[in-house]
Amino acid sequence: MIAAKGIHKVFGGRGGAAALRGADLEIADGEFFCLLGPSGCGKTTLLRIVAGLEQADSGTVHVGGRDVTAEAPHKRGCALVFQNYALWPHLTVGENIAYGLEVQGKPKPEIRAALAAALLTYQLQGMEDRFPHQLSGGQQQRVALARAMAVKPHALLMDEPLSNLDAALRKSLRRELLEFHRREGSTVLYVTHDQEEALALSDRMAVMMEGHIVELGSPKELYARPRTLEAALFLGDMNVFRGDAVPAALGNGGAGDNGGKTLCIRPENVRAQAGKPASDGSVRDTSRDAALSGVLAFSEFAGTHALLGVETAAGRVLARAPLAEAAAWEPGTGLRLEFPEEHLLWY
């Protein structure tokens, strides 16, 4: 378990920049937890405070049920994997993996057995005598993981470990990370700014903004129905209608109850159909789904679907459509956009 309570951190002394403003975090045993947010939101600072590499101005940190707030990094029972892997360049693969065990003073037979198991588990057999510069990015990442897990930590802390890799390798290693987690059952705190990565990897995730956590839940919950506007705007593509720009055809979201100030809907939840634009820019039909008329501005091939940009009386709306349908629509084609009520998000 990892628990961080009321974490405040200001850099630059009194009057300096506040990196964390009372951040709270609790991660269950065996959970893969992703901390997601834009650059400068404080996510790496929070990870470094959990690791003991930074000291919080106030707040407490527990790892494995033990208060480690004042303890040195090497006594916290955490292992770290950094963005650049931080492998010792002058040590071989085998020496890198065994390093933590040697520091712990483990007997040589135990170290040899652990090294052999790590080489097998992380698909590094035959590479134990190579140096880091002789490895690919993916192999270096596996060495970093093997080194971290060899010491059997209470928690594994990972700071954007895939961000230096190309897109194809990132996806491949993402799957390896999931397999590693299923196999090891470790508690993982994973920091990333990559939304796709967080959605694919995490059991639960948090969205962090300006030094505090604004949203917390499962990836499906946060993507489908984010509770805060900040999370809705940050996580994935979103159509946004604010204030007076909310089309009358789309209703008021129960304005008397929750204000109905801003309406959001994801492009994949907007249904596009060919149809003549209405003169007033809005239509309804017996399906009971709200709808707008518009004109196709562009259609982008996106592999499994087409991304459409449709000009409406309420502004440009993004929608997704099957490739077969979108192939028949040229710019200037009149389209009818339907907005299923169950996918309308009001803030």
The structure tokens 């404080």 sit at 42
Query: Can you give the pTM of this predicted structure?
Result: 0.84
Q: How far is CA 239 from CA 257, 319, 339, in A?
A: 22, 9, 11
Is 232 inside any structural domain? no
Predicted local distance difference test score (pLDDT) of residue 95: 94
**Does residue 230 lie within any of the structural domains?**
no
Of 170, 195, 225, the position where a domain reaches its end is 225
Verify that 46 and 100 share a domain, yes or no.
Answer: yes
Supply the pLDDT for residue 253.
58
Is 273 among the domain residues?
yes
Query: 242 and 328 share a domain?
Result: yes
Residue 217, domain member (yes or no): yes
User: What does the pLDDT read at residue 150?
Assistant: 87
Task: Please give the tally of structural domains in the chain.
Answer: 2
The pLDDT profile of the chain, 347 residues, written as one tens digit per residue, is 899 999 999 987 676 788 999 999 999 999 999 999 998 999 999 999 999 999 999 999 999 889 999 999 988 989 888 888 788 999 999 999 999 899 888 999 999 999 998 898 888 999 999 999 999 888 888 898 889 888 888 899 999 888 877 888 788 888 888 888 888 888 999 999 999 999 999 999 999 999 999 999 999 999 999 999 999 999 989 999 988 778 777 776 554 444 458 999 999 999 999 875 445 444 444 455 688 999 999 999 989 999 999 999 889 999 999 999 999 999 999 999 999 999 999 99
Structural element, H or E, at residue 191 = strand 187-192
Quick one: 198 and 168 in the same domain?
A: yes
Asked whether residue 189 falls in the same domain as residue 270, the answer is no
CATH number at 335 reads 2.40.50.100
Tell me, yes or no, whether 163 and 38 share the same domain: yes
Choose one of 225, 258, 291: the last residue of a domain.
225
For residues 266 and 318, give the distance between their C-alpha atoms in angstroms, rounded to a whole number.
8
Beta bridge partners, 317, equal 310
Pair 72, 208 in one domain: yes
Q: Does residue 133 belong to any structural domain of this protein?
A: yes
- Cβ atoms of residues 198 and 228 within 8 Å: no
Of 190, 225, 260, the position where a domain reaches its end is 225
89 and 156 both lie in a single domain: yes
What distance in Å separates the CA atoms of residue 121 and residue 115, rounded to the nearest whole number? 10
> Is the same domain home to 96 and 145?
yes
Domain assignment present for 282: yes
Integer Cα distance of 51 and 48 in angstroms = 5
Per DSSP, the three-state class of 3 is strand
- Domain containing 296: what range? 237-346
Residues 82 and 161: their CA atoms lie apart, in Å, by 6
Q: Do 203 and 325 fall within a single domain?
A: no
Question: Residue 49 sits in a domain of what CATH number?
Answer: 3.40.50.300
Please check whether residues 20 and 166 belong to one and the same domain. yes
Do 39 and 139 lie in one domain? The reply is yes
* Domain-located, residue 216: yes
What is the tens place of the pLDDT at every residue in 237-279?
999 998 877 877 777 655 444 445 899 999 999 999 987 544 5
Tell me: do 250 and 191 sit in the same domain: no
CA–CA separation, 44 vs 47, rounded Å?
A: 5
